Chain A
Amino acid sequence: MSPTGLIPLGGALQAYAAWVNTTWLHFFAINYKWVWATMETLHFLGLGLMVGTIGVLDLRLLGFLKGLPVRSVQKLVPWGIGAFVLNTLTGIVFLAGAPYQYLYNLAFQMKVIFMLAAGVNVFVFYSGTWPVTRTIGAGQTAPWAARIAGAVSLFLWIGVMYWGRMLTFFRPPFVVPPK
């Protein structure tokens, strides 16, 4: 068993993964075929909802939907946060079902890094330019800082989709995926 991935993960994490494999959530995730299929379905519905909310705000900031006041588009964001929570929860079920497959997977590690970077981008955006950007009305151009935040967000979330899809292809050789 030779762990692969960008970040070498040591013994503590192996012990953690071994523990995960004894939890009820692990057995729940892999013992019923419908659980995995249902979680996958919810994960992809959450993906679509995130693009339709966070992605739409990003497009507005970039100037593609200038007819929409930023303050109004922001009202879609709570739905995006809901979708993010849904995808985090369903993602945790996958992780509990096959911890080794994910923890030692380069694509999973990159996916988590991209999500953390997206979190930093959200923090910088709302703690920085937001008080000005929220006043941007129909027809007005968002400040540069907001346009950059929108571009970074789109890049990172499309990256999250990329690494999510690459999970299968970077699967460590020592685990059998649940189907």
Chain B
Amino acid sequence: MPLLASLEHSAFGTWVREAPTIWAYATILFLHTVGLGFVVGANVAIDLRILGVARDMPLAPMRKLFPWMWAGFIVNALSGVALLIADATTKLGNPVFGVKMAFIALGVVNMAWSKPKVVLDPMPVNAKRVAVVSLILWIGATTAGRLMGYLGPVSGLE
């Protein structure tokens, strides 16, 4: 795949992967982890509330968590693109990466489309279904992301 190889060996890809500084690969990986925390954490907080944890907590004010989950998502989309370019041939050749992207695509549909319609007081009847789907999708995305380091082609870059 010459396109992927040229992406990987571009100045940017090489810098991300090989620059002898903590501010390249290591920092981008750290940002990807913090972003995970916020996108998954904010979604899970709402899901837990919908499913009955902290039942006395008003649900509608939890809408204020949406900007935090979107911030986490944007950080991860950008850091993810950088990490992907640095390791393009391996990651795009790994079926687990496709699984991860599928979970994330559905997770984004859930948080952009379904969830805003149920984070309301009183809680709509379909809220629990949206929360269960959200939990499954974000657990799936996190799991697939981790397993990319162990299954299929693995370059040694995480």
Q: A73: CB under 8 A from chain B?
A: yes
Of A48, A51, A75, A161, chain B has the most CB atoms within 10 Å of the CB of A48
Given contacts A45-B143, A165-B30, A165-B33, whether A67 and B58 have CB atoms under 8 Å apart is: yes
Q: Note all chain B residues with C-beta closer than 8 A to A36.
A: 150
Of the candidates A47, A49, A56, A72, the one whose C-beta lies within 8 Å of that of B65 is A56
Question: A49 with B36: in contact, given A37-B146, A67-B64 (CB under 8 Å)?
Answer: no
User: A144 contacts the other chain (Cβ, under 8 Å)?
Assistant: no
Closest to A65 in B: B64
Rounded to whole Å, the gap between the CB of B156 and the closest CB of chain A is 8
Contact A68 B41 (CB under 8 A): no
Q: Which of B22-61 contact A (CB under 8 A)?
A: 22, 26, 29-30, 33-34, 36-38, 40-45, 48-49, 53-54, 56-58, 60-61
User: Which residues on A sit within 8 Å (CB–CB) of B146?
Assistant: 37, 40-41, 44
Cβ–Cβ < 8 Å partners of A120 in chain B:
none
- B residues 109-158 with Cβ under 8 Å of A? 138-139, 142-143, 145-147, 149-151, 154, 156, 158
Query: Beyond A56-B65, A166-B26, is A75–B54 a contact (Cβ under 8 Å)?
Result: yes
Q: Is A145 part of the contact surface with B, judged by Cβ < 8 Å?
A: no
In the complex, whether A91 has a CB less than 8 A from a CB of chain B is no
User: Hey, which chain B residues are within 8 Å of A45, CB to CB?
Assistant: 139, 142-143
Q: A64 within 8 Å of B by Cβ?
A: yes
Given contacts A48-B138, A52-B43, contact A37 B149 (CB under 8 A): yes
Which of A51, A79, A168 is packed against the most chain B CB atoms within 10 Å? A51
A71: nearest chain-B partner, CB-CB: B56
Task: State A69–B26 Cα separation when bound (angstroms).
Answer: 38
Query: Given the complex, which residues of B lie within 8 Å of A168, measured CB to CB?
Result: 26, 158
B150 and A50 form a contact (CB under 8 A): no
In this complex, the member of B44, B64, B142 whose beta carbon has the largest number of chain A beta carbons within 10 angstroms is: B44
Query: Contacts of A52 on B, CB cut-off 8 Å?
Result: 40-45, 48
A47 B61 Cβ-Cβ under 8 A: no
A76 touches B48 (CB 8 A): yes
Contact of A158 among B22, B26, B34, B58 (CB under 8 A): B34
Knowing that A53-B41, A161-B33 are A-B contacts, what are 12 other residue pairs whose CB atoms are under 8 Å apart, sorted by A's residue number?
A: A44-B145, A48-B138, A48-B142, A49-B44, A50-B37, A51-B37, A52-B42, A53-B45, A138-B58, A158-B37, A166-B22, A179-B154
Q: In the A-B complex, list the 3 residue pairs whose CB atoms are closest, starting with the nearest.
A: A67-B61, A51-B41, A52-B41
Residues of B within 8 A of A (CB): 22, 26, 29-30, 33-34, 36-38, 40-45, 48-49, 53-54, 56-58, 60-62, 64-65, 68, 138-139, 142-143, 145-147, 149-151, 154, 156, 158
